[in-house]
Amino acid sequence: MTSVATQKSVQAECALWLSENWNPELSLREWRELLVDSGWAVPQWPSQWMGKGLPAWSEKVISTELHRVGAPGLPTGVGMSLAAPTILEHGTDDLKSRFLRSTLTGEFSWCQLFSEPGAGSDLAGLSAKAVRDGEEWIVNGQKVWNTSAHHADYGILLARTDSSAAKHHGITYFVMPMKQDGVLVRPLKQMNYHSSFNEVFMTDARIPAENVVGDANAGWTVALATLAHERRFGNIVSRPKVVTGGRAVQEALHEYTEYMETYKWYPQRAGRVDLLVPQLTEQELNEDPIHRQRVAQILAMQKVSGWTADRARTARELGHPPGAEGSVGKLAMSEIARLASMEHGRIAGAMGMLNGADTPVNGMVAEVLISVPGQSIAGGTDEIQHNILGERILGLPREPQ
């Protein structure tokens, strides 16, 4: 890499590498291994850890190049969005060597084991316990709402390791192998009939001592890093682009379809703003001034929220750590989803409660109405985002504990 990398020089160097190395006939795993070993998979990571030490903007430049030639990029999900960046920031070299590469190539899949029946917003009140036993930790307790735990290889787990310490101390952050006798995963059925998250019961589950991220009893700081990554918004998963056939592309499409099986209700959770105008047209309400006004307001809010997301993305690309702007974006998404679901309900009327092919947009309105509440809960509720903004941006006194 040249000494002063510009977006143009990075783009040109990556394009050259792709022209020499992109081979759709490889398996997806082989292709990703090649990409990871070249440093182009995560160019913004340090060169010691599979990156090129380039500025954060390089991530976008490379994904655009990969998209241009139709080459699959990295896997999506908790592994890439939460586990890998947290391990990169807080893990030992041993953890980085054992987990980062296999997460980038898609060999390991992950889930997040934070929430408990009695600890969601008040996460530091968690009660799952881990006790050190020689070279292992033994974990007992229950987690809940754990998306994708039913097929994850590893979980990022918070457990109490010192009950005598104050609530935010005495918590340790672990990487727990999910495929073991001590871990029971039970899928939950949601009111929208999907089943994307689970209850996880740990009964004498075992974790190697070297799987602690950060220091024992100092896991809260590490958890905050993960939560900040979770509030980053704009991680839209798009279908791999098909420019050519080939094994890698087919396998990427298959991976995407499987992934979306868990997340296929997420667009409904976000309010399906895209269906508002088609619904107005279908019901011949395009001329109605009240509906027009409401739909225009929602579309305008979506546009503004997109600009806020762009600003946050640019800040990230410039290397700023994830900050409170994630809370602004998350709140905006909740508000837009709520307004859109109300408007869908008003347009469809009583028919909006029905499911089936002969109902408005094939039952999609009904699914929107019962999926939207999840938007203001997942990844920290609206009230918690308000608290974060009040304290960190407005400088209000801290909430009484």
Ligand X SMILES: Cc1cc2nc3c(=O)[nH]c(=O)nc-3n(C[C@H](O)[C@H](O)[C@H](O)COP(=O)(O)OP(=O)(O)OC[C@H]3O[C@@H](n4cnc5c(N)ncnc54)[C@H](O)[C@@H]3O)c2cc1C
> What are the catalytic residues?
230
Using CB under 6 A as the binding rule, whether residue 188 contacts ligand X is answered as no
Which contacts qualify for 169-172: CB closer than 8 Å, 24 or more apart? 169/217, 169/218, 169/220, 170/217, 171/124, 171/126, 171/217, 171/219, 171/220, 171/223, 172/130, 172/137, 172/212, 172/214, 172/216, 172/217, 172/218, 172/219
Is residue 195 a contact point for ligand X (CB under 6 A)? no
| Residue 271 in the binding site for ligand X (CB under 6 A) | no
Nearest-approach distance from CB 373 to ligand X, in angstroms: 8
370 binds ligand X (CB under 6 A): no
Please report the beta strands in 4-152, taking only residues with DSSP state E, as ranges in sequence order. 110-113, 129-133, 136-144
C-beta closer to ligand X: residue 61 or 372:
372
**Is position 142 an interface residue for ligand X (rule: CB under 6 A)?**
no
CB of 76 to ligand X, least distance (A): 14
Which of 147, 250, 262, 359: binder of ligand X (CB under 6 A)? 147
User: What are the helix (H) ranges across 71-214?
Assistant: 78, 84-90, 93-104
Residue 256: closest CA among 242, 268, 271, 269 = 242
x/- mask, ligand X, residues 112-131, rule CB under 6 A, reads xxxx----xx----------
Residue whose CB is nearest to ligand X in the complex, by number:
120
Interaction between residue 374 and ligand X (CB under 6 A) = yes
In b/e form, how buried is each residue of 54-92, taking b as 16+ CB within 10 angstroms?
Answer: bbbbbbebbeebbeeebbbbbbbbbbbbbbbbbbbebbe
| Beta carbon nearer to ligand X, 256 or 263 | 263
- For position 141 contacting ligand X by CB under 6 A, the verdict is no
**Shortest separation between residue 398's beta carbon and ligand X, angstroms:** 11
Contact residues: ligand X, CB under 6 A: 111-115, 120-121, 145-147, 197, 374, 377-378, 380-381, 383-384, 387, 399
